[in-house]
Amino acid sequence: MIQERDIDLIRTASHGDPFSVLGVHADERGYLWLRAFLPAAASVELLGAGGVALAALELRHANGFFECAFPVGAPADYRLKVRWADGNESVIDDPYRFPPVLGEMDVWLMGEGSHLRPYEVLGATQRVMEGVAGTSFCVWAPNASRVSVVGDFNVWDGRRHPMRLRRECGVWEIFIPGIATGTAYKYEIRAREGHVLPLKADPYALQSEMRPATASVVTRMPEVAIASPARQAANALDAPMSIYEVHLGSWRRKIDDENGDHGRFLTWDELADTLVPYTRDMGFTHLELMPVTEHPFDGSWGYQPIGMYSPTSRFGDAPGFRRFVDRCHAEGVGVLLDWVPAHFPTDTHGLANFDGTQLYEYADPREGFHQDWNTLIYNLGRTEVSNFLVANALYWLERYNVDGLRVDAVASMLYRDYSRKHGEWVPNVHGGRENLEAIAFLKRMNEVVGSERSQAVTLAEESTAFPAVSRPTYAGGLGFHYKWNMGWMHDTLSYMARDPLYRKHHHGEMTFGMVYAFNENFVLPISHDEVVHGKGSLLTKMPGDRWQKFANLRAYFGFMFGHPGKKLLFMGCEFGQEREWNHDQSLDWHLLGDRQHEGVQRLMHDLNRLYKATPALYQRDFTPDGFEWIEHNDADRSVLCFARHGNEPGSMVVVVCNFTPMVQHDYRVGVPRPGVYVERINTDSAHYGGSNVGAPFGEITADAIGWHGKAQSLALTLPPLATVFFEWKA
């Protein structure tokens, strides 16, 4: 007979090892006993093969604790027939008759924090055990005294499905028969001090409820996507990369009566039918999606995620996101995801104080609390936490077939004193400011991506001078493929915001980027951060009257596409959105009825077309031999001129920029080769809303007149506030 104390612990959901009590067990005399805890049950019968009744269970406690001697010859795959207090009856499989979920190798690898794919066993996994279909639930909570899975299937009662602790790795597990796709669930966790925590979402949940609901949802994991040689070629360092950065919730919305003026979110399939063709037709090579990991607060734009393995339910279910990515690839568009391993929000249903201790975050707030964002910082020195995130990176690349991850807030990870005053941070073991654990994590993440998904790329948003961010780890680098060039962005936008009258005093802001252009593999980012928080839109940053604002914007885009480095542009900038970006409403697509806005969009389309068709503009982005200054000292006339070179002999483009509103007549430019130069794009063309000043007939032949140290030169009429591309033709 069972001890009364064990019954009390089970019925109060306080037992730390429910599998030692429930199910079939032998007593000290060798007799087998079957025990079940079924609150609100009036009676329980043991059923054998074919549903034959074998025995009635005795009610040992009014709360619903039943037991009986297990009959000799009773099958191991028994079932229970339950008559409930309300008169209903049901036949159920006993979760406590099934063996452990985790295999010995999984336990070993999770214990040492080296499991490449823990998401295949942790979280909610639909499976068949001993011929019975259901879902296994596994959650890491090593300091909890008891963990239960709860949901509608057990009326959110933590007494009904307490889990088994695998002490070797701190994971609690249970297999519950009959749990199907679409079932909402959470974990009820009792801390080691005895108090019950707020219900927790599953850190490894593959789908989540639509906010403000916060439960996790059972769904099937996507199949592993086969690596594609075509995608590997499209993501190579010497391939063109023009990235369209998008916030899915505000790119475009569907207006309906229910959601008011701002409309509802588009679904994954609606986005596939609209956003993907638009991106393709505009000529962008890649989409970069601001975080699609589940997050509770719209105003965080996804940068405070809780469901790291869960595509946000704002646009539909998880399979819908896989269909969206597949559609992108079918249209020749790559997909990059913004990924946030730097911090997480303090919401009580998330990772904060997960098992009653600082499990995922640093315990010391000088290490674990981010003052700028009021978020918590991952304790990357803990192997299980680092493994959680490294595996997460691989999950999105393998299971959703995305092309790469843009890692957010890398600078905040690298430095322990990031945005902290003296005395507000803890030095590393050597007394320095570098976060050695974060550095090791980033290196390992990039190494795992490189070895397991070689077609994928990683990009770092890193705003400091930390060395070798985009260099291989074997050469002492962090292992990223690309780094955002924040310095280039700040300098050039500062220059463009100035009145042309004063630009000559700040000429270096446009040229300084070339001093360090080849220290890293740079992406030139004009991102969402430049059009929020009172900064205004890209168009409104430009000086002058309306015509000059548009001309400045077009000239800047031309300079950007001529400059070494891959390109990134935030949505709306491609047609000169006038108001600052608002995440709560759609872009102002109606502006395309205006000639100037339409002209900017045409220019971006043509720049992308020229860029992809002209190897000189991308093949040698990261080597000095791909760039050649022709004129960078003409500050008085605010003119820049440079050449870009491709791999093939004669692959060359000359780019000339005039950042004043004055037409520069008979402006001579030395060129590397004699012959004919064909005007490919003039941002002042009337086609784009400009004044149509430029080279006659679109071609000009080099004169045998030495200039700028060259044996030949071009005599040009430089249009006002414009960038002109000339491609060499033999």
Residues 645 and 724 in one domain: yes
Distance CA 91, CA 68 (A): 17
Neighbours of 540 (CB within 10 A): 16
One-letter amino acid for residue 376 of the chain:
L
Residues 660, 664, 665: CA angle, nearest 5 degrees? 170
Model pLDDT for residues 282-295, shown as the tens digit of each residue: 999 999 999 999 99
Tens of pLDDT, residues 502-561: 999 999 999 999 999 999 999 999 999 999 999 999 999 999 999 999 999 999 999 999
- Residue 36 and residue 122 in one domain: no
| Residue 444 is assigned to a structural domain of this protein | no
Whole-number Å distance between alpha carbons of 390 and 191:
27
pLDDT number for residue 616: 97
Q: Are residue 73 and residue 108 in the same domain, yes or no?
A: no
Higher-pLDDT residue of 217, 112? 217
| Residue 126 is assigned to a structural domain of this protein | yes
Q: Do residues 389 and 445 make contact, with C-beta atoms less than 8 angstroms apart? A: yes
91 SS3 class: strand
| Average confidence (pLDDT) over 566-577 | 98
Two tokens, residue 588: 């102002």
For 381-540, where are the E strands, in sequence order? Answer: 404-407, 457-460, 482-484, 522-526
| Cβ neighbours of residue 201 closer than 8 Å, sequence gap 6 or more | 186, 187, 208, 214, 215, 216, 306, 307, 349, 350
* Number of domains the chain contains: 3
Query: Quick one: average pLDDT of 672-690?
Result: 95
Shared domain check, 123 and 71: no
Degrees (nearest 5) of the Cα angle 455, 461, 465?
115
Q: Are residue 704 and residue 651 in the same domain, yes or no? A: yes
φ, ψ of residue 599 in degrees (nearest 5): -65, -40
Q: Which two tokens stand for residue 570?
A: 């935030």
**pLDDT (tens digit, 9 = 90+) per residue, 426-471?**
999 999 999 999 999 999 999 999 999 999 999 999 999 999 999 9
**Per-residue model confidence (pLDDT) at position 306:** 95
Q: Are residues 125 and 59 in the same domain?
A: no
Q: Which of 188, 355, 408, 606 is catalytic?
A: 408
Question: Taking all residues of the chain, what is their mean pLDDT, rounded to a whole number?
Answer: 95
- Contacts from 159-163 at CB under 8 Å and sequence distance 24+? 159/10, 159/11, 159/12, 159/13, 159/37, 159/39, 160/37, 160/38, 160/39, 161/95, 162/10, 162/13, 162/15, 162/18, 163/18, 163/137, 163/139
Q: What is the mean pLDDT of residues 273-277?
A: 98
Strand partners, 459: 406, 482
Residue among 292, 279, 350, 345 at smallest CA distance from 318: 292
pLDDT tens digit sequence for 229-244: 999 999 999 999 999 9
Mean pLDDT of 678-682: 96
List, for residues 376-420, the tens digit of each pLDDT value. Answer: 999 999 999 999 999 999 999 999 999 999 999 999 999 999 999
Do both 213 and 109 map to the same domain? yes
677: nearest Cα among 726, 615, 607? 726
Would the CA dihedral through 431, 432, 438, 444 be positive or negative?
A: negative
Q: What is the dihedral of CA 371, 373, 376, 379, to 10 degrees?
A: -80
The average pLDDT across 630-656 equals 96
The CATH number linked to 168 is 2.60.40.10
Give tens-digit pLDDT for 183-222: 999 999 999 999 999 999 999 999 999 999 999 999 999 9
pLDDT at 39: 94
pLDDT of 260 higher than 70: no
Instruction: Decide if 421 is inside a domain.
Output: no
Residue 373 lies in a domain: no
Helix/strand/coil (H/E/C) assignment for every residue in 580-631: CCCCCCCCCHHHHHCHHHHHHHHHHHHHHHHHHHCHHHCCCCCCHHHEEEEE
Q: 631 and 715: one domain?
A: yes
Three-class SS state of 397: helix
Active site residue 408: yes
Q: Which pLDDT value is given to residue 696?
A: 61
CA–CA distance, 202 with 150 (Å, rounded to integer): 11
Q: How far is CA 679 from each of CA 453, 699, 703, 710, rounded to the nearest angstrom?
A: 41, 6, 16, 20
- In a domain, residue 411? The reply is no
What does the alpha-carbon distance between residue 88 and residue 580 come to, in Å, rounded to a whole number?
A: 59
261 pLDDT band (50/70/90 cuts)?
Answer: low
- Asked if residue 111 and residue 93 are part of one domain, the reply reads no
**Average of per-residue pLDDT across 693-708:** 86
Handedness of CA 305, 307, 313, 319 (dihedral sign): positive
CA 326 to chain centre: 17
Place of tokens 């920029």: 657
Q: Are residues 112 and 63 in the same domain?
A: no
Instruction: Decide if 592 is inside a domain.
Output: no
Q: What is the pLDDT of residue 2?
A: 78
* Residue 178 within a domain: yes
Q: What pLDDT sits at residue 361? A: 97
Domain boundaries, position 646: 622-729
Residue 27 has a pLDDT of 84
- Cβ neighbours for 474, distance < 8 A, ≥ 6 positions apart: none
146 within 8 A of 138, measured Cβ to Cβ: no
Joined tokens for residue 407: 């890692």
Q: Does 461 participate in catalysis according to the annotation?
A: yes
Label residue 259 by pLDDT band (50, 70, 90). Answer: low
Q: Which of 217, 250, 280 is the last residue of a domain?
A: 217
Query: What is the pLDDT at residue 262?
Result: 73
The residue from 47, 78, 97 where one domain ends is 97
Active-site residue (options: 294, 317, 367, 461): 461
Tell me the CATH number at 683. 2.60.40.1180
Q: What single string gives the DSSP state of each residue in 313-356? A: GGG--HHHHHHHHHHHHHTT-EEEEEE--SEE---TTTTTTTTS
- Say if 630 falls within a structural domain: yes
For residues 24 and 113, membership in a common domain is answered with no
* pLDDT over 60 at 697, yes or no: no
Residues of the chain with pLDDT > 90, as a percent, come to: 91
CA distance 334 to 345: 29
Mean pLDDT calculated for residue range 623-644 = 97
Average pLDDT, integer, range 615-625: 97
Q: For residue 1, is pLDDT > 80?
A: no
Q: Check: CB of residue 592 under 8 Å from CB of residue 650.
A: no
| 25 lies in the same domain as 45 | yes
Q: Residue 255's pLDDT band (boundaries 50, 70, 90)? A: confident
Please, which residues have CB within 8 angstroms of residue 336's CB and are 6 or more apart in sequence?
Answer: 243, 286, 287, 288, 289, 402, 403, 404, 405, 406, 457, 459
Give 113's pLDDT tier (boundaries 50, 70, 90). confident
Q: What is the mean pLDDT of residues 629-655?
A: 96
**Which pLDDT does position 386 carry in this prediction?**
96
What average pLDDT does the segment 56-74 reach?
A: 89
Domain edge (last residue) among 97, 125, 154: 97
- Report the distance separating Cα 402 and Cα 223, nearest Å: 13
> For position 184, what pLDDT does the model report?
98
**Cα Rg of the chain, angstroms:** 31
User: Given this model, what pLDDT does residue 698 score?
Assistant: 83
